[in-house]
Amino acid sequence: VAVPPAFLADVVAVVGPAHALVDHGVVASYETDWTGRFVGRAPAVVRPSSTAEVAGVLAVCREHGVAVVPQGGNTGLVGGSVPLHGEVVLSLRRLTALQAVDVDAGQVTAGAGVSVADVQSAAARAGWAYGVDLASRESATVGGTVATNAGGIRVLRYGDTRAQVLGVEAVLGTGAVVSHTGGLLKDNTGYHLPSLLCGSEGTLGVVTAVRLALVPPDPARAVALLAFDRPAAAVTAANELRRTLRPLSAAELFTDDGLSLVTRHFGLARPFPGSYGAYLLVESSAASDPTDELAAAVRSLGGVADVAVAGTPGQAAALWRLREAHTEAINALGAPHKLDVTLPAAALGEFVERVPGLVRGLAPGARCFLFGHAADGNVHVNVTGLGPDDETVDGAVFELVAASGGSISAEHGIGAAKRRWLHLARTDAEIATFAAIKGALDPDRVLNPHVLLPEPS
């Protein structure tokens, strides 16, 4: 893969020679996605440090007709952050300005390259909390979470990333710099560009800074792991807890295959003497100890086969580890196909029970692990033992999701991985509208031209 020499010279003039990387040994670390399934080649990695430098780089790209893939923490799971078509990687990790928390408003403005964990820490130091949390928190960036509209383990309580975003600064594909980060809670002055950029996967603009709303902290937590004979019973319980347990802050589902994999891979103790068909990690958080409410709500549930209650913060962390370590343990088996789907509440239980058989029927050598944010209707179907380009299982699962009234992406986005199935989730009219927006905001197709939308005909 190559770019015109004049392109490199012009980019160096914007970011300096130290931040236009061309040595393949260095560039290589930006070319593979977190799962290892998506591997590209980039002629260069460009690392701007300010909005003005991002605008300068994009101007050079438009002039030379060179496309970029914006990249934050590169924890995305749909192949959208790596250069699969020889694009230049535009790394936003140097945009690390984090302003002081506005304690009165409960807001903060963070550069696109600030990690989610750093926003959480800054909020906590100021007596606030950030409502988005996910296992990739140390690496995932604010810009990446806006571009993917990341969900995570607190959507149930606080909503997705879009629900936290009050304003955005971004450089559009046209070169226009849009910035509206005043953080007014009421501001009906036209189209809401932050909403448009949330979930746009780097196809419309490069996010450079974000004004985030913070939430009041809930310092007291109670955590329990519930065991069920069948996944459908665990899903029913998650739905019931949404109604009966007001301080419910997480309800995470996994099955015995995943639990066995995690405990073996990391040498962790199993939480129960026996094995069960499904587990639900339940967390309740509030200003004062919510243990009694959690215990009462669990007692009123049907179908609970066993319960492990965390008596200390260390035990709570150990129970959480059983769920959060799934992604890493599955990856260690080889590059997985990750299908993050969402189903209507009433259909999720049956779906979770049907999928393993569907996968076995199509790919007898494959292994299937299901886990997810059960109270959001979101389950992650992880399939290992398939070639990176073997999409038979992916297609069959997505068809089942669509037939059940669900969506082919709950939170990871479409990226490169699910592009050919976008029509299962969106009508022709919607896809044409997306294309019209893309044409207006990125007319030269320099921003992630090969993700999310079909190639223009």
Ligand X SMILES: Cc1cc2nc3c(=O)[nH]c(=O)nc-3n(C[C@H](O)[C@H](O)[C@H](O)COP(=O)(O)OP(=O)(O)OC[C@H]3O[C@@H](n4cnc5c(N)ncnc54)[C@H](O)[C@@H]3O)c2cc1C
Q: Collect all residues with Cβ–Cβ distance below 8 Å to 264 and sequence separation of at least 6.
A: none
Which of 60/116 has CB closer to ligand X?
A: 116
Piece of 75-83, 119-127, 225-233, 308-316 that binds ligand X (CB under 6 A):
75-83
Q: Which two tokens stand for residue 28?
A: 């290589």
Regarding 120 and contact with ligand X (CB under 6 A), the answer is no
Regarding 71 and contact with ligand X (CB under 6 A), the answer is yes
Q: Which two tokens stand for residue 12?
A: 């160096």
- One-character DSSP codes across 163-178: GGEEEEEEEETTS-EE
Let me know: does 215 contact 131? Beta carbons within 8 Å: yes
Regarding 370 and contact with ligand X (CB under 6 A), the answer is no
Regarding 414 and contact with ligand X (CB under 6 A), the answer is no
Smallest distance from ligand X to CB 454, Å: 16
Regarding 111 and contact with ligand X (CB under 6 A), the answer is no
Residues 164, 291, 407, 448: which binds ligand X (CB under 6 A)?
Answer: 448
Regarding 201 and contact with ligand X (CB under 6 A), the answer is yes
Pick from 164, 252, 163, 172: nearest CA to 208: 172
Map residues 317-356 to x or -, x wherever contact with ligand X holds by CB under 6 A: ----------x-----------------------------
Left if phi > 0, otherwise alpha if psi is -120 to 50, otherwise beta: which for 372? Answer: left
Q: Collect all residues with Cβ–Cβ distance below 8 Å to 52 and sequence separation of at least 6.
A: none
Regarding 290 and contact with ligand X (CB under 6 A), the answer is no
- Residue identified by tokens 């995570």 is 152
Residues 167, 173, 202, 349: which binds ligand X (CB under 6 A)?
Answer: 202
Regarding 69 and contact with ligand X (CB under 6 A), the answer is yes
Regarding 136 and contact with ligand X (CB under 6 A), the answer is yes
- Residue identified by tokens 């571009």 is 147
Which of 206/310 has CB closer to ligand X?
A: 206
Q: Which two tokens stand for residue 156?
A: 């149930």
Dist CA 91 CA 106 (whole Å): 29
Smallest distance from ligand X to CB 415, Å: 6
Pick from 62, 65, 55, 51: nearest CA to 109: 51
Piece of 57-65, 129-137, 260-268, 294-302 that binds ligand X (CB under 6 A):
129-137
Regarding 145 and contact with ligand X (CB under 6 A), the answer is yes
Dist CA 235 CA 225 (whole Å): 14
Pick from 163, 235, 233: nearest CA to 379: 235
Dist CA 225 CA 388 (whole Å): 34
Piece of 150-158, 238-246, 391-399, 429-437 that binds ligand X (CB under 6 A):
150-158
Smallest distance from ligand X to CB 142, Å: 8
Regarding 258 and contact with ligand X (CB under 6 A), the answer is no
Regarding 206 and contact with ligand X (CB under 6 A), the answer is yes
Residues 80, 106, 247, 449: which binds ligand X (CB under 6 A)?
Answer: 80
Regarding 55 and contact with ligand X (CB under 6 A), the answer is no
Regarding 72 and contact with ligand X (CB under 6 A), the answer is yes
Left if phi > 0, otherwise alpha if psi is -120 to 50, otherwise beta: which for 377? Answer: left
DSSP H helical ranges for 272-405: 291-299, 313-324, 326-331, 345-362, 392-403
* Site residues (vs ligand X, CB under 6 A): 34, 69-77, 80-81, 92, 112, 134-136, 139-141, 143-145, 147-148, 150-152, 201-202, 206-207, 327, 411-412, 415, 448, 451
